[in-house]
A and B are shown apart, each in its own frame.
Chain A
């Protein structure tokens, strides 16, 4: 059920995203950082699902909150002439890798348990 929802959402997103009007280039930097933040939230959500402590409120608030916060930070960095978005990217991508490694370990353990049983 959830997988179907994910696939439908992704397909709709691809179709509408490809046909969407082009946004100005100066905004694309903010969009990029918000995408990184959102991806981080998604991986965090997957990790928590696997751990069994997934909370929809936390996930949704993290998804949009991180995105908006990263945009605000990038804007502030531009006003201060400091590349704050680099720090945001380092944090988000680092967390993404951590979450990915947790996911990887989880499935490896699952897989090794299966092979041991067999």
Chain B
């Protein structure tokens, strides 16, 4: 009887211990996992959530990658555009030089032809000189500060007047040419067949040839006048 009572007491104490132990274990677990989202979720739900987040991450990653690629493409395009602009600007510059729309500076020669008592300089002399200079590689030529372009007209009007770019000029004629100065000089002064021997010295015309390192040739100004004319015409 007494033995039974002791056994019963021990067993009931043990059972109380087990119950309370497990209860407090559970309290602790619930307290520790008190993240509202996780608390309400089953394991399978959590797995689904993980899967969906993973796929979302992958999507976002793909988007990021494609955006980076697009950015690269745009950058390349910008670069190529810049290159194209540079090339175009260079072309424009050379075209402007050829057309005579800009002032140019550089080394070259200055040929001064002037009338004397024996002979008069004609437009033909100037045309030949200009052609000789161009053949020798002149990049820009002007006569009495009138720029010689592809459209320039050089013609006699009276014995002592020459018209160039529709402007009358008289002796002395200062022909400036920019280019390799040694080439230009030697091309003009070749013996017997050069310009100086063949056209000037035979006719006892006076010429002065000098080389310079810094020659400035002004731009062709007729264009601007023409622009103004057009503008005025449109205004009316």
Contacts and interface: CB of A to CB of B under 8 A. Distances in A.
Contacts of A86: none
A42 B29 contact: no
A103 to B, nearest CB: 17
Contacts of B10: 5
Interface string A46-64: 0000000000100110010
B64 interface: no
B68 interface: no
Interface string A21-62: 011011010011011001100100000000000001001100
Given A23-B29, A31-B26, A13 B19 contact: yes
B29 A25 contact: yes
Range, interface on chain B: 20 to 34
In the complex, which of the residues B24, B32, B33 has the most CB atoms of chain A within 10 Å of its own CB atom?
B24
A2 interface: yes
Interface of B: 5, 7-30, 32-33, 38, 43
21 contacts: A1-B5, A2-B8, A2-B12, A5-B12, A5-B16, A6-B12, A6-B13, A13-B20, A16-B21, A17-B25, A17-B28, A22-B32, A32-B26, A35-B19, A35-B23, A35-B26, A38-B19, A38-B22, A39-B19, A56-B11, A60-B15
A9 B33 contact: no
Given A5-B10, A26-B43, A13 B29 contact: no
Contact of B9 (A1, A10, A34, A35): A1
Interface residues of A, number: 30
A10 B20 contact: yes
Interface of A: prevailing SS: helix
A5 B9 CA distance: 6
A18 B21 CA distance: 8
Nearest to A24: B29
Contact of B38 (A25, A31, A60): A25
Contacts of B11: 56, 60
A88 to B, nearest CB: 16
